[in-house]
A and B are shown apart, each in its own frame.
Chain A
């Protein structure tokens, strides 16, 4: 769903319906990891592909790590739902209520950063120390080092995906005529040639 884009859904990562039980999660993870290993060994490795595969493995590892544990999984889902509700509340506010807007913006920004930091970066890193995950994904220190920067990048990518839907505050909302923009792009290119 568009309004949930950016709030990483680990059930989707493992191609499972929301609420799938830990047994299903483990089974699907092992199956997907096997498929991915076969895919990795069948292609010529380039730096771009390597980064892409490491990200895929890191995200799947984080997914199984979060969803196989009852407490972690409940905490994750509750925090995610609360954030989605908070975004909906903020977006439905009357634009003239600047004080309430600013208050919710600050609160939401803190919450969304904490959520993404915890569930995108921390959980992927913690998953790398889980024996079951290490065995299935052959995750090692070198992978963890490589993944650090990629995960940070991915976190910001998700943050921006959410940000795109939120009310503007540092700048007024731009009114963009894309036909006019295309003309400007053409002019800029011609002018600089």
Chain B
């Protein structure tokens, strides 16, 4: 019988290990941080995985990262005598490691800094600080709003709603993520039998509140904002849309084009003194889908109105607040619809330079 040959224990490069931990802290990457402590981690001496290989290069700082002051701060925290002793000890133990709270807190803060709110929510939740941190952000955001600092207030509300947790998630609670596509379908779920039933022509006050609730994806946060004057809420929505959707101006252009197409369509019907059905018959059953396509900026092959709505909600979440469903025979399209005297479309640039007669 062959004698078992003892495998020499792997020598872990401690300096590289410190860099990997520092990089996870610096980037606010809680997943990589946990992985480094896991039983399969390449920084554990008994695993066959090696940190120096290409496979794990993603765990290490790149380029100029090491010169960044934030990285250096993270490195300092990792290499602090007590912390480093704790880390190396946890890596030696053959049991699930206990994570060091100081570094988890740094990860959470850095994740917020990098707008990785779900990661921050998980880290704060583990530290049992999430709700208190949310309250702190709310407090600062409300103060900013009261003093007229809208950008700071918007950022505060975005962080706070980003730190929310969904305790009803299955199989276990998870950070709550706004579901604009699902919400858009729900909001347009019922066909408006009269123009008054369209959400885009709601009274200004109601429309603004609806926009806040939908865009923030958090009813409680939107309710807090109801206490502020309408002008403040309008400015808030404007800033929120600008931050959530950097390509909003592209949609504004498309919206104008769609309005032009609606006017052309209406004009054709008026001059022919014909009915909508006649117009459809004349077009051999073709529905003016080009209006919906103009809104989205592209065609979805055999796309139904709700497919366009979902894509629109994904690309420009606020867009679905200014459109309505319109039936043509057996088909439906999405078309622009605004309330003339409402300030909400105006602050978002949708009511400017519209074609004459719109």
Known contacts A48-B223, A185-B137, A191-B113; A156 and B155 CB within 8 A of each other: no
Q: Considering only CB atoms, which chain A residue lies closest to B144 in the complex?
A: A189
Question: In the bound complex, do residue A153 and residue B167 qualify as a contact, i.e. CB atoms below 8 Å apart?
Answer: yes
Which residues of chain A have C-beta atoms less than 8 A from B101's C-beta? 168, 171-175
Of residues 74 to 132 in B, which have CB atoms within 8 Å of A's CB atoms? 86, 96, 98-102, 104-105, 109, 112-113, 115, 126-129, 132
Judge whether B113 and A188 touch: CB under 8 Å: yes
Given contacts A153-B167, A189-B140, contact A170 B133 (CB under 8 A): no
Task: Please classify the interface of chain B as helix (H, G, I), strand (E, B), loop, or mixed, using the class held by over half of its residues.
Answer: helix
**Pick from A174, A178, A185: contact of B140, CB under 8 Å:** A185
Of B102, B133, B219, the contact of A181 (CB 8 Å cutoff): B133
Nearest CB of chain A from residue B236's CB, rounded to whole Å: 14
A189 touches B167 (CB 8 A): no
**How many of chain B's residues have a CB under 8 angstroms from any CB in A?**
37
Does B151 sit within 8 A of A, measured CB to CB?
yes
Q: List 14 A-B contacts (CB under 8 A).
A: A150-B168, A153-B166, A160-B167, A168-B128, A171-B99, A171-B101, A171-B104, A175-B101, A176-B129, A182-B136, A186-B140, A189-B152, A191-B113, A192-B159
Are A190 and B219 neighbours in the complex by a CB distance under 8 Å?
no
Residues on A lying within 8 angstroms of B by beta carbon are: 47-48, 149-150, 152-153, 155-157, 160, 163-164, 168-176, 178, 181-182, 184-186, 188-193
B173 at the interface (CB under 8 A from A): yes
Number of A-B contacts (CB under 8 A): 82
A193 to B152, CA, bound (A): 6
Say yes or no: A171 contacts B127, CB within 8 Å.
Answer: yes
Query: Do A171 and B98 have beta carbons less than 8 Å apart?
Result: yes
Q: Are A192 and B113 in contact (CB under 8 A)?
A: yes
**In the complex, B156 has a CB within 8 A of chain A:** yes
B212 within 8 A of A: no
13 further interface pairs, Cβ-Cβ under 8 Å (given A156-B168, A163-B128, A178-B132)? A152-B168, A171-B100, A174-B127, A175-B101, A176-B129, A181-B133, A181-B136, A182-B136, A184-B109, A185-B140, A189-B140, A189-B156, A193-B152
Residues of B within 8 A of A189 (CB): 137, 140-141, 144, 152, 155-156, 159
Contacts of B141 in A (CB 8 A): 189
Residues on A with beta carbons closer than 8 Å to the beta carbon of B126: 170-171
Cα–Cα distance between A178 and B136 once the two chains are bound (Å): 10
Alpha-carbon separation in the docked complex, A175 to B127 (Å):
10
Pairs A-B, 4 closest by C-beta atoms: A156-B167, A174-B101, A153-B168, A152-B168
Q: Are A156 and B173 touching (Cβ within 8 A)? A: yes
Q: A185-B136, A193-B155 are in contact. Are A48 and B128 (CB under 8 A)?
A: no
User: Which residues of B sit under 8 angstroms from A169, Cβ to Cβ?
Assistant: 98
Contact A149 B168 (CB under 8 A): yes
Q: Which residue of A lies closest to B156 (CB)?
A: A189
User: Of B86, B129, B151, which contacts A174 at CB under 8 A?
Assistant: B129
Q: Name the contact of A164 in the complex, choosing from B128, B133, B137 (C-beta under 8 A).
A: B128
Mask for B218-254, Cβ within 8 A of A = 1, else 0? 0110010000000000000000000000000000000
